[in-house]
Structure 1
Amino acid sequence: MLAIYGTSGLMYRGPIEDLRRVLPSLRAARPRALAVETDRPDFADSAFRLMGHGDDEGPARPEATLPRPAAVAVQAYGGVQRPAPQRHPLERVRDVMTPEAVTVRDDMTVAEGWHRLAERALGQAPVLDGQGRLVGLLTRAELLHIDRLPRPEDSALVWRAFLAQPLASVMVTPVPAVTPDTALRRLALALLTTGLPGMPVIDDAGGLVGFVSRSDVLKAVVHDPPLDLWAG
């Protein structure tokens, strides 16, 4: 299910497949630079290295020196103590989304919105109005677009005026949102159609319950297989 929210409230609710028909009312986000995440090594491999295992010069595993029946017993005991996580195919937005998304308010200034994105290392954030309703999406790409920024030769007053604008004047609106039970295949279709880096996730009442980005889907592919894009 897809919903589109703007400053006037809910503008559309219906199948994601109809997005192309309503897309002309949206401002597509522009591309942003890619970032490579390097701070999430695989936990199991990291723990193995920290214990001195896994490289040629490290100490041998204790069970490697035991007779085979004893080694099997040690491994079985370790499996009981550290059971393998139960995995299920990732099929829905709820399986990959980030709950409790970082948000900004439409009456915050550009400087405040930029600081919020920078301090959380985010590329985008849902925009809420004073009543907590979804009204738009703030993206780093929109803030940095050449047509929006003052020129380098402009005075400090011009730059200060730009930074003092409310986010309502620079956010992407209307903005599409999906529900937690949306199939990942349909989410991918919506992201490709709009060019947005991610979408807010709402409940049936329209309340914001999270955010799902392209990065969330890619992290799921890398860290939490299997991924079932054909469910639903």
Structure 2
Amino acid sequence: MFAIYTPNGRTFSGPLEELYRVQKTMVSEKSRSFEEIDELSLINKKGYKPSNKALDAYNKVISKPDQKELICHAYQIMTSPVELITHSDVLTSVIEKFTRLPYQEFPIINSQQQLIGSLSRQQLYEYILKHGTTSKGDKTKNVQTLFLNEQSKVYTAEPVTDIRRIAALQVNNHLHTIPILEGNGKMVGIISRTDIIKAVSMDPPLSLWC
């Protein structure tokens, strides 16, 4: 299952096919490109385990008696806990976090710990090139004021989601990361392109079900 979050909350929840149908009715947004320099991102398989009920429900949907291949889900390869940016962080603290950590994108949360957007390294660089960092006013403005608006949105997936479907969403929407949220909106991890590449190259064969 996938979802879309905006500064106003969750605006979509459903399977990938339905998400694509919804997108066809929306205004096309400017594509974002990302540099693949997130080489330090590590696969983190600890700290989260979905309920047996969720796993059983998923396996019943796709069960194939003759198929023995491993099905790899989001929770098995996601990085957890997640490094975050809060809506009230100022520009200087955001620059410091991108300088200190190798990640290409950070989810943005509000004071209630709810996902409201994301900020990529490229977005930050483009802002600095255009506005610089010397303006006292910009230094004290928060992330939500500088980088979020009514058109801002972030795609998410649930923990028990096939990583091939996550990869398809990333490719089709030019995304570098996908936050992993439970159905109640609680963020439990994040998956980057690097995480999926490592899983495909290191783990046993994946199910071809998509």
* Distance (whole Å) between structure 2 residues aligned to residue 201 and residue 128 of structure 1: 14
Give the C-alpha shift of residue 29 in structure 1.
5.8
Q: Read off the aligned partner of 1:208 and give its amino acid letter.
A: M
Give distance in 2, aligned partners of 1:2 and 1:206: 11
Query: Counterpart of 1:34 in structure 2: which amino acid?
Result: E
Say if 2:204 is the partner of 1:226: yes
TM-score (norm 1): 0.67
- Structure 1 residues 89, 129: CA separation in 2 closer, same or farther (over 3 Å shift)? same
Q: Against the structure 1 CA distance between its residues 122 and 18, is the aligned structure 2 distance closer, same or farther, given a 3 Å change threshold?
A: same
| 2: CA distance, partners of 1:95 / 1:210 | 10
C-alpha deviation, 1:37, in angstroms: 3.6
Distance change (3 Å), C-alpha of 1:31 and 1:39: closer
The 1:94–1:104 alpha-carbon spacing in structure 2 relative to 1, beyond 3 Å, is same
2:169 corresponds, among 184, 190, 193, to: 190
| Displacement of 1:155 | 9.2
Residue deviations 1:68-96 (CA, integer Å, cap 9, x gap): xxxxxxxxxxxxxxxxxxxx835211121
Larger radius of gyration: 1
Q: Give the corresponding residue for 1:18.
A: 18
> Contact 2:88–2:142 at 8 Å: present in 1 too?
yes
The answer as to 2:93 corresponding to 1:112 is: yes
CA RMSD of aligned residues (A): 2.8
Matched, 1:95 2:76: yes
- Show the 5 A alignment for 1:39-188: 89=70, 91-145=72-126, 148-151=127-130, 156-157=134-135, 160-168=136-144, 169-171=146-148, 173-188=152-167
Tell me the amino acid that sits aligned with residue 201 of structure 1: I
| Superposed CA offset, 1:115-149 (max 9, x none) | 1232222111111000100111111011112xx34
For 2:10, give the aligned amino acid. Answer: L
Structure 2 residue runs of 5 or longer lacking an equivalent are 43-68
Q: Deviations over 1:168-193 (max 9, x none)?
A: 13158211110111111210111112
AA aligned opposite 1:99: S
Give the number of aligned pairs: 179
